[in-house]
Structure 1
Amino acid sequence: MYKIKTTTKFEKDLKLIKKRGYDLKFLKEVIEILSNGDYKMNNYIKLNEDRWNNVKNDYTEPLTHEELEEVRNNPISVALTVGKKVPKEWFEKANGKKILGLACGGGQQGPVFAIKGYDVTIMDFSKSQLQRDNMVAKREGLKINTVQGDMTKPFPFENETFDIIFNPVSNVYVEDLENIYKEASRVLKKGGLLMVGFMNPWIYMYDADIVWDKPDEELLLKFSIPFNSKELEEEGKITINPEYGYEFSHTLETQIRGQLKNGLAMIDFYESCDKRHRLSRYGNDYIATLCIKL
């Protein structure tokens, strides 16, 4: 999970400034980053974006034609978390079919929604992930609107645009959740549904190397909650592996109250388990929530 060695150099962005013709807006963003401390640390979003543009894993493999043919002939089946599908009853509660897949690129959930008759918009900060949605849409003759965007900033949509926002596990890559839930509520219609999957914070108390790669070593508590890989790297306590990126456990209060204080009410909830690692013996490591906009 959190072994990171960053390779981004400030010189690369200096070259980018020149390439962009000294665009004032871009220069202002760079100055804000530099004035706020260590360049690398404050640019973790870009580093995570680069990671998703280059990594290959289960979440970057688009659905095949054969898999989508199965989707056509069966009830909707998509995942917010590892280990369990979203109950179809959640979608039946929606007042309409205009859906935003938030941080949901990769050619997996988006095409399923499109095949099931939803008006689909996918927003993701990874250009590569969005390209996979576009590729599947073209191959299957589907309509999917893709938008490259950073969910730590204002969403590029009008107020009360969507009936559903579907946000599979992704806010683990964002340090501050306040903007995500504020903007999600803003762009949801009244009575709209927010479906969110996130990590159960307790798993971050253990060393991920031992959890995943060293089955013979004893599991020991190592980190406090909330886990913040950016701060831990600044303190020299961990190094970050570019294959995984910067991760943040958050707390249940931040996740759940973050939704409730933005005009949303929780109406359902479930947990799920990733059986690929040892911690699954001791508890569920994923949580999914369903909220409605009041």
Structure 2
Amino acid sequence: MYEIKTTTKFRKDLKLIKKRGYDLKFLKEVIEILSNGDYKMNNYIKLNEDRWNNVKNDYTEPLTHEELEEVRNNPISVALTVGKKVPKEWFEKANGKKILGLACGGGQQGPVFAIKGYDVTIMDFSKSQLQRDDMVAKREGLKINTVQGDMTKPFPFENETFDIIFNPVSNVYVEDLENIYKEASRVLKKGGLLMVGFMNPWIYMYDADIVWDKPDEELLLKFSIPFNSKELEKEGKIIINPEYGYEFSHTLETQIRGQLKNGLAMIDFYESCDKRHRLSCYGNDYIATLCIKL
């Protein structure tokens, strides 16, 4: 076990982080926790959960009434990754409309599915994100079942419950993917579809601070992959910033074989690009897969 430590520089970053939408009281509490030797690294899931309960970004802004009215009058349009929408043909392949939005809270995709006539369940470890789905559902008169759950543990659903599982980029916050794909296969009906978005691991070879915040600095290879923030912190090579939490790049083998070996056959695939940062000049940084349960 490794005790998380902080630095003076990290504490000075509080003011900047507050400007980006964080509650300062929450951040001070995080600093106290991180400074406490009793806090162990196996609590990374809880720290990531707290991060999503307090962060404000593009993924925590629920859709407005006007945006949902636009959804009503157009074909379904949702995203698994940044930079590209899921092809509508993916949804047309489904045998039914019972859908699990896995790690999909925030009042964005869930309401879209509900408006389009899906029987919607949203599972997320963030209570705040689920509350956004509940808020939109109440405002719009929609039915959305929200479940707080940790996807590193057994899913709270019966075998063969869902026709579709929709899992946007989120497994980057989980160290071991084995349970996710095993449980996804278990709760999917035979012939059900698993739609997953994840990070292209190559982007983790570069320092994220330089990629996003220091456009004048040279881009240099810094980390080997798979990137594991827990191990890097243990080695003293990085300090975890609560604005981002713990992240894990995984390998393509882990992502793709993890689905295949659990009885899921890949039938489609695409890549997309986040053009907000410099790495977009060199390649796509997101991947989405469509698998069917055999």
Q: TM-score, normalised by structure 2?
A: 0.88
Change (3 A) 1:156 1:37: farther
Change (3 A) 1:9 1:15: same
2:53 corresponds in structure 1 to 53
- Determine which structure has greater relative contact order: mean sequence separation of CA pairs < 8 Å that are 6+ residues apart, divided by chain length: 1
Judge conservation of contact 2:201–2:250 (CA < 8 Å) in 1: yes
Change (3 A) 1:14 1:228: closer
Runs (4+) off by over 6 Å: 1-38
Judge conservation of contact 2:3–2:38 (CA < 8 Å) in 1: no
Judge conservation of contact 1:8–1:40 (CA < 8 Å) in 2: no
Judge conservation of contact 1:226–1:251 (CA < 8 Å) in 2: yes
Give the number of aligned pairs: 294
Change (3 A) 1:262 1:135: same
Judge conservation of contact 2:84–2:272 (CA < 8 Å) in 1: yes
Change (3 A) 1:218 1:39: same
Q: Which moved more, 1:132-141 or 1:228-237?
A: 228-237
* Superposed CA RMSD: 7.3
Judge conservation of contact 1:264–1:293 (CA < 8 Å) in 2: yes
**Sequence identity percentage:** 98
Change (3 A) 1:2 1:26: closer
Report the CA distance between 1:79 and its aligned residue.
0.1
How many angstroms apart in 1 are the aligned matches of 2:123 and 2:7? 27
Report the CA distance between 1:104 and its aligned residue.
0.1
2:288 corresponds in structure 1 to 288
Report the CA distance between 1:40 and its aligned residue.
2.4
Q: Which moved more, 1:14-23 or 1:210-219?
A: 14-23
Q: Which moved more, 1:37-46 or 1:128-137?
A: 37-46
Report the CA distance between 1:51 and its aligned residue.
0.2
* 1:18-58 per-position Cα deviation (integer Å, ceiling 9, x unaligned): 99999999999999999999742100000000000000000
Report the CA distance between 1:162 and its aligned residue.
0.1
Report the CA distance between 1:77 and its aligned residue.
0.1
Judge conservation of contact 1:3–1:244 (CA < 8 Å) in 2: no
* 1:237-262 per-position Cα deviation (integer Å, ceiling 9, x unaligned): 00111011000000000000000000
Q: Which moved more, 1:227-236 or 1:197-206?
A: 227-236
* Residue ranges of structure 1 left out of the alignment (5+ in a row): none
Judge conservation of contact 1:195–1:288 (CA < 8 Å) in 2: yes
Judge conservation of contact 1:36–1:42 (CA < 8 Å) in 2: no
Change (3 A) 1:245 1:17: closer
Change (3 A) 1:239 1:278: same
Judge conservation of contact 1:3–1:238 (CA < 8 Å) in 2: no
Change (3 A) 1:80 1:5: farther
* 1:200-256 per-position Cα deviation (integer Å, ceiling 9, x unaligned): 000000000100011011100000000000111111100111011000000000000
Report the CA distance between 1:80 and its aligned residue.
0.1
Judge conservation of contact 1:4–1:245 (CA < 8 Å) in 2: no
Q: Which moved more, 1:125-134 or 1:28-37?
A: 28-37
Q: Which moved more, 1:93-102 or 1:23-32?
A: 23-32
Change (3 A) 1:170 1:236: same
How many angstroms apart in 1 are the aligned matches of 2:280 and 2:52? 25
